[in-house]
A = this chain, B = another copy of it.
């Protein structure tokens, strides 16, 4: 049994959780590692070595993390290239984006069209879902705003 650092084990745990959402394991490992590493920014080689992943996997995985808004590049003074870090506000940026729900609402609207419209009989299930997703789409951004307001009001800034 190889000795795994606590950080490394954490990365594996994160991979398991994220896999549950249908995401690639490498994506979860990278995110988990970036959440607990010290310092909080890491170069590609550090990530590859730390997690036992190939350069290619790190490159692909980090692009995914970047485009999904969870990570960003930061310059490293005495180093060629860049490092990555998790954006402190990552979760807020992602949660506030309600376009995820739009796909579902549209699917339900499309469904209503298929069955013959709003008033066709036996369409309750579709209407409830459509209305629910529309509601969520409207309310989630508000909810996130409320979090931001309450949060920055309470305790601000890191150590």
- Contact B132 A38, beta carbon cutoff 8 Å: no
Contact with B along A2-40 (1 / 0, CB 8 A): 000011001001100100111100000000100110111
How many chain copies does the complex carry?
Answer: 2
Q: How many residues of A contact B (CB 8 A)?
A: 54
Q: Give Cα distance in the complex from A103 to B16, angstroms.
A: 11
Given A20-B22, A22-B22, A36-B115, 17 other A-B residues pairs in contact with their CB atoms under 8 A? A10-B111, A10-B114, A14-B107, A32-B111, A35-B108, A36-B111, A36-B126, A38-B115, A39-B122, A86-B125, A88-B124, A88-B125, A95-B136, A120-B159, A122-B159, A136-B143, A143-B143
User: With an 8 A cutoff between CB atoms, is A90 at the interface?
Assistant: yes
